Structure 1
Amino acid sequence: MAVYALTGFSLVSLLSFGYLSWDWMKPSLVADVATDPMEKSLPPTFARPPHIIFILTDDQGYHDVGYHGSDIQTPTLDRLAAEGVKLENYYIQPICTPSRSQLITGRYQIHTGLQHSIIRPRQPNCLPLDQVTLPQKLQEAGYSTHMVGKWHLGFYKKECLPTRRGFDTFLGSLTGNVDYYTYDNCDGPGVCGYDLHEGEDVAWDQSGKYSTLLYAQRVNKILASHSPKKPIFIYVAFQAVHTPLQSPKEYIYRYRSMGNVARRKYAAMVTCMDEAVKNITWALKKYGYYDNSVIVFSTDNGGQTFSGGSNWPLRGRKGTYWEGGVRGIGFVHSPLIKRKRRTSWALVHITDWYPTLVSLARGNLSNVPGLDGYNVWPAISEGKESPRTEILHNIDPLYNHAKYGSLEDGFGIWNTAVQASIRVGEWKLLTGDPGYSDWIPPQTLTNFPGSWWNLERLTDGLRKSVWLFNITADPYERYDLSDQRPDVVRTLLMRLVHYNRTAIPVRYPAENPRAHPDFNGGAWGPWASEDDAEEWEGTGEPLKSRNKKKKCKICKLRSFFRKLNTRLMSNRI
């Protein structure tokens, strides 16, 4: 049992030097200690189940918060984080749908079939219906559950909607990218529709209201009409600060001295979101929730450097498996925390919120075996060691075209052309094509992209398909150790092999013309009936419609947009 007391850092170090032996094909480094989610950490004891407010922002970069040295004003986030616990070893996913699915299910995306890209508006796809969601578990524990904001977990049939997945109420968008005022979303030229929904109905009457402010107002209304005597869970998934870059003028004026227009608008959106969080916190206090509440703040992925975001000094951006894509802003603020006002370096992943919050709610996890998340509340509240020692960032079998990857480069056990990444203790391994690998300073210069874009670019190693970093010693991923430590590379490749054996087929069906908003009164919404379920669902192979019509304009445009996918993806996900 002495082995289990070692930290992730020392354990992997000793393994690498050969002082310890381990079966790397076991489920996880702590599997022998506790296999049941409820046993991973003892549940807390509160007088009453706490109110839980989970705030998720969209595309907010690691550098884009005041307490990380940003030039953007975030006084509310700075204060809440300073009075709570800052999570400085906190990881998310590099794009939208995967992060949201892992939050809602507590499972890696290889275990839900969502390991490739995102769920697109015209795809017959959604979060698998056999998954028991976080709000469903909280409902079982007696909670009132509400969602405000961006869903992006599929909507092709009504069973996929938030109100069918555990939320009592819902106000927000179903797709991933809408106008902040008009709530229009275009999935290609001529494929546009309205996307703001109240429950399962289209909320036409809310058009014209800036989404960040609208969502904060809705949270205030929920708190005002609910009794603090009954526990409540509110999932606030702000659209901010995803593109399009739109903000009320009064916020843009504050940053008028910023030379870069994209950065100026982006900064305004962040500050507006910060004030929305201030209003939510104020409402918690006004209506009597605050003293028994837990506020969790998280980003969904790294910042989009094409659109004003910054992950400096981390490497990479949104959509990549470099630290800039997967290391997030995170903190917990609560009067119930035992050791407040500190920074935690405990390893935490977005899947951990599922068992952590259900345990806080005194819920039952016995009927959801095989979770990939851990209860990290003792690590957050009391400063104890995190039960997590490794993170599977992802394995994407459909993204397997790295030019220089091969099975030979993977010691005959792993094809390094496959995009994958894993963190074990201090070590991080990447294979395939991890994405844009630049270090990009904040975009404060006037010309875009121009002079700032190439300030920190690595030009060597372009013929590689394997990278290894000691993230503890080198958090900015500047020193690739794959050639010096082939023993560690092989060990981590074996972990990828293990996880890959547990993966389910990819759910990434072809887009279907039936989803066009013109067939739904001009709004995005469910289009498939229960009888169509088998036709619309897929596991990686393109689906064929039974309607043998001639190719429509939408279909003809598909190949064109796929050719532009590398560039367009930055603003569509």
Structure 2
Amino acid sequence: MPAHARGYEDFDGRIGRTIEESTPSWPAEKRAPENSPNIILVLLDDMGYSDIEPFGSEIETPTLNRLAETGIRLSNYHTTPVCSPARAAALTGLNPHRAGFGSVANSDPGYPGFRLELAQDVATLPEILRGHGYATYAIGKWHLTRDALLNAAADKSTWPIQRGFDQYYGALEGFNSFFHPNQIVRDNSILQREETPDNYYLTDDYTDQALEYIKGLRASDSRKPFFLYFAHTAMHGPHGAKPEDIDKYRGAYDQGWEAIRKERHQRQIRDGIIPEGTPLPEAVGKLGKKIPEWDSLDEQTRSIYAKYMEVYAAMVDNVDQNLGRIVELLEQLDELDNTIIVFTSDNGGTAEGGAEGTRSYFSRFAHVPGLPEDFNKDVPLDPDLIGGPQTMTHYPEGWANASNTPFRYYKGQTYAGGIRVPLLVSWPKGLPKNDADEGIRQQYQYVTDLTPTLLDLAGLQHPGTRNNLPAKEIDGTSFAPILRNAEAESTHPNQYTEFGGNRGFYSKGWKIVANHRPGTPFNDGEWELYHVETDPNEIENLASQEPEKLRELAEAWEFAAWQNTVFPLDDRSNLQGHLRRPAEEEFEKPVTLLPGTPKLERYRSSKLTKLRTFEVEISVSFETGDHGVLVSHGDQGGGYVVFVKDDHLYFALNEYGALHEVDAGELSVGDHHITLRTTPLLNFRAEHTTIVDGKETARLSDVWALVGFAPFSGIDVGINRGGPVHWGLYSEFGSFRYSGNLHSVRYVPGEKAAYDPEILAQLERDVEAASD
């Protein structure tokens, strides 16, 4: 035997193995059981109960009709009042507060139930399925990472790839432009597009990528099952749709929201979605005001309002078209029958467009304490632009009321309108329907049931661990029994709900609900009681007639709240909820941005500029004929841009869609130091001054400060990628990269305005500390 093949003794005298014996052995690749089904979970955003044909809509959704014919409609399925909690519950099976998502991922109150990151002991559905041999793909809206962790330098442990997905393509934010996304992420990298392609539409782009993932998998492996989590940005505002889809619905809503609501209600009863004799409640807005009758509006107002709904319908139609593309591919691959397709919404239709709707979404969506009453929440842009890329629109709450037919109220509330949404499940091979089964289930089920149900249908076990450590036990229960048997009992008899102090508890056909007004005490007097088994749209409040039942459910809610880390209740009226953790002070330090720097992420950019004095110092060399953007921050919904054109320097402010352009004078050949100084004024007003080589050359005074989510797109140096701040420049020059020699752009944040919520919160905290 050759010397190198003989055994050997180490220094401890232990006998080593021969080379032949020590040949490495790799573990076999984890393979899913033979004939495991593919799984597709399609989750829409802010879509109401009645917005698709299988649940009573006039909007054409032939793909969903087909899935309804081959599958099951759950007409008594419930979710959380808002999006991030629903997504956390759907992907983990945990109640949202236990998953760390008692609210949306755009705050940081510091409570255990509001950590706004999936904890390390929370196992996700894609992690579980990948452990069973599935390929896992995520497309679209994520919104399960706290906003301070969306930047390029952040810890990415809560980004999709780190939470179980092999590949990801989409937007980490809660919403986006459908024409010029502010940020798209592929896997762990933020994409930098010089120009948005012509005729770009976000839902189409998402679907193109989903199809590519499936085709790529099948090109390499003929039988490996996949999980596709397709989380749409639609139907979240700002609304926008393709012209050809909008044209399809021209005139369809001229009859108004009362007529549409009544027609949907009649179809729901005809089709067995709701019981015969279910009345239609009075149309009431989110704040309790009666929604105006359509005929009481003037002709111009009716025309604008109808266009808002045409756009919304076109968006739903487009979602169905794109789902149809996925279904068609599965047919080509002969895999449709063995694919579980689930389609639902993360919460009910939303009234965030207000009573009037808006063409300037970011002004309507500005939720800042002390905002003046005269703050303009609808910039009067040309009505012909509604739904296109130049506007940021949202429909009025009259249409949201129609979306939630036959229920009352909206997203964010714990009434049925906020939490009862459509659910379709189709799996022809595993859930075949017989002629006697109409395919509608009236049993109560909840969003936490999705993970255990999909595992149950696929014949897979939850491991109970994550990274070889114990994982939190899930709260949901599989509803596979009711999918297979229409007479089976609900597998989810009790459930608490909470968001922003709005509370609810369901138990075996009874429900209590509290519609809390922020800033008021939380008390038992807020509770209303409904027997939803006979009164599904919560019209008859039985609190005074059934005090024992009310007390029983109120106590059950409190017990569940303690079990699920719901406390302390947070209705966002406490200013200290606006404080952020000390680590974020890094975001408020001066920063120098060089040409070629990727666009700064939205939240990171906002910390340099929001409700404070700040200076933008631009170092540039100019030669005759040089032109382009020096710095831009924002998009169509609001922002500012400094640019050179025709040898002149310009400053432009997009005030939520209203453009102000100021000529800051002709530039001479040579090096220049340009400063843009922004100063907050009283009552959320602002002043912008342009200084060239120490001399003031232009001033724009007394305009609205950009607050809330404006600017929504981040800071860009030497270019305006994505959504254009200045539409005229974009139409003529595209992204308008600066043609000369731009040396640097430096942001220097200054003092915050006295009305900045963080300043007010710190003052409040200091007063409390002094009085202790």
Q: CA deviation at 1:550?
A: 8.1
Q: CA deviation at 1:559?
A: 6.2
1:408-433: per-residue Cα shift (whole Å, max 9, x none)?
xxxxxxxxxxx321110110111351
What are the residue-to-residue correspondences of 1:422-437 with 2, within 5 Å? 422-431=505-514, 433=516
From the two aligned structures, give the one with the greater helix fraction.
Answer: 1
Please state whether the residue corresponding to 1:158 is helix, strand or coil.
coil
Structure 2 residue aligned with 1:345 = 442
Instruction: Name which structure has the greater RCO, CA cutoff 8 Å, separation 6+.
Output: 1
Residue 236 (1) aligns with residue 230 (2): yes
Structure 2 residue aligned with 1:181 = 179
Higher Rg: 2
1:222 and 1:425 map into 2 onto residues whose CA distance is 42
Of 494, 497, 500 in structure 2, the residue corresponding to residue 394 of structure 1 is 497
Please state whether the residue corresponding to 2:229 is helix, strand or coil.
strand
Structure 1 residue aligned with 2:601 = 524
- TM-score w.r.t. the length of structure 2 is 0.53
More deviation, 283-292/144-153: 283-292
Q: CA deviation at 1:243?
A: 0.7
Q: CA deviation at 1:490?
A: 1.2
What are the residue-to-residue correspondences of 1:430-449 with 2, within 5 Å? 430-431=513-514, 433=516
Cα 1:122–1:348 change in 2 (3 A) is closer
Structure 1 residue aligned with 2:145 = 154
Q: CA deviation at 1:489?
A: 0.6
Structure 1 residue aligned with 2:246 = 252
Residue 318 (1) aligns with residue 411 (2): yes
Residue 470 (1) aligns with residue 563 (2): no
Cα 1:78–1:526 change in 2 (3 A) is same
1:155-195: per-residue Cα shift (whole Å, max 9, x none)?
512111000000000000001011112112xxxxxxxxxx2
Q: CA deviation at 1:513?
A: 6.0
Of 207, 212, 226 in structure 1, the residue corresponding to residue 217 of structure 2 is 226
RMSD: 3.1
Q: CA deviation at 1:345?
A: 1.3
Structure 2 residue aligned with 1:544 = none
Question: Amino acid of the residue matched to residue 453 of structure 2?
Answer: T
Residue 291 (1) aligns with residue 337 (2): yes
Residue 215 (1) aligns with residue 201 (2): no
Residue 358 (1) aligns with residue 455 (2): yes
1:126-160: per-residue Cα shift (whole Å, max 9, x none)?
22232111110111111110000000001512111
Question: Amino acid of the residue matched to residue 317 of structure 2?
Answer: T
Q: CA deviation at 1:525?
A: 8.5
Of 119, 137, 144 in structure 1, the residue corresponding to residue 105 of structure 2 is 119
2:455 and 2:132 map into 1 onto residues whose CA distance is 8
1:72-119: per-residue Cα shift (whole Å, max 9, x none)?
22222122112210110111111110100101110112312322x311
Cα 1:434–1:288 change in 2 (3 A) is farther
1:73 and 1:561 map into 2 onto residues whose CA distance is 49
Please state whether the residue corresponding to 1:266 is helix, strand or coil.
helix
The gaps in structure 2 that reach 5 residues or longer are 1-31, 110-114, 150-154, 255-305, 354-393, 465-470, 519-523, 571-576, 605-747, 762-772
Is the 1:352–1:373 Cα contact (8 Å) retained in structure 2? yes
Is the 1:337–1:382 Cα contact (8 Å) retained in structure 2? no
What are the residue-to-residue correspondences of 1:364-379 with 2, within 5 Å? 364-367=461-464, 368=471, 370-379=473-482
Q: CA deviation at 1:343?
A: 0.7
- TM-score w.r.t. the length of structure 1 is 0.71
Is the 2:77–2:420 Cα contact (8 Å) retained in structure 1? yes
Q: CA deviation at 1:358?
A: 2.0
Please state whether the residue corresponding to 1:423 is helix, strand or coil.
strand
Residue 107 (1) aligns with residue 98 (2): no
Cα 1:201–1:165 change in 2 (3 A) is same
Residue 197 (1) aligns with residue 175 (2): no
2:121 and 2:754 map into 1 onto residues whose CA distance is 31
Residue 70 (1) aligns with residue 164 (2): no
Is the 1:158–1:526 Cα contact (8 Å) retained in structure 2? no
Q: CA deviation at 1:252?
A: 0.6
Q: CA deviation at 1:362?
A: 3.3
Of 46, 64, 69 in structure 2, the residue corresponding to residue 59 of structure 1 is 46
Cα 1:471–1:324 change in 2 (3 A) is same
Question: Amino acid of the residue matched to residue 178 of structure 1?
Answer: N
2:68 and 2:529 map into 1 onto residues whose CA distance is 32
Is the 1:224–1:287 Cα contact (8 Å) retained in structure 2? no
Residue 137 (1) aligns with residue 128 (2): yes
2:751 and 2:451 map into 1 onto residues whose CA distance is 43
Please state whether the residue corresponding to 2:542 is helix, strand or coil.
coil
Residue 383 (1) aligns with residue 486 (2): yes
Is the 2:89–2:448 Cα contact (8 Å) retained in structure 1? yes
1:363 and 1:319 map into 2 onto residues whose CA distance is 34
1:532-565: per-residue Cα shift (whole Å, max 9, x none)?
xxxxxxxxxxxxxxxxx98655996446999xxx
Cα 1:427–1:250 change in 2 (3 A) is same
Of 160, 163, 166 in structure 1, the residue corresponding to residue 164 of structure 2 is 166
1:454-493: per-residue Cα shift (whole Å, max 9, x none)?
xxxxxxxxx9511000111111111000110011111111
2:45 and 2:216 map into 1 onto residues whose CA distance is 28
From the two aligned structures, give the one with the greater strand fraction.
Answer: 2
2:448 and 2:510 map into 1 onto residues whose CA distance is 20
1:288-314: per-residue Cα shift (whole Å, max 9, x none)?
321211000111100124333411221
Cα 1:166–1:510 change in 2 (3 A) is farther
Is the 1:85–1:380 Cα contact (8 Å) retained in structure 2? yes
Q: CA deviation at 1:380?
A: 1.0
1:516 and 1:270 map into 2 onto residues whose CA distance is 40
Structure 1 residue aligned with 2:318 = 272
Is the 1:106–1:371 Cα contact (8 Å) retained in structure 2? yes
Question: Amino acid of the residue matched to residue 54 of structure 1?
Answer: L
Is the 2:91–2:125 Cα contact (8 Å) retained in structure 1? yes
What are the residue-to-residue correspondences of 1:78-89 with 2, within 5 Å? 78-89=65-76
1:268 and 1:554 map into 2 onto residues whose CA distance is 42
Is the 1:348–1:386 Cα contact (8 Å) retained in structure 2? no
1:493 and 1:248 map into 2 onto residues whose CA distance is 47
1:217 and 1:72 map into 2 onto residues whose CA distance is 23
Please state whether the residue corresponding to 1:111 is helix, strand or coil.
coil
1:42-97: per-residue Cα shift (whole Å, max 9, x none)?
xxx99622100110011111121113322322222122112210110111111110
Question: Amino acid of the residue matched to residue 60 of structure 2?
Answer: Q
The gaps in structure 1 that reach 5 residues or longer are 1-44, 185-194, 401-418, 436-462, 528-548, 563-573
What are the residue-to-residue correspondences of 1:524-543 with 2, within 5 Å? 524=601
Is the 1:93–1:393 Cα contact (8 Å) retained in structure 2? no
Q: CA deviation at 1:386?
A: 4.0
More deviation, 385-394/216-225: 385-394
Is the 1:105–1:132 Cα contact (8 Å) retained in structure 2? yes
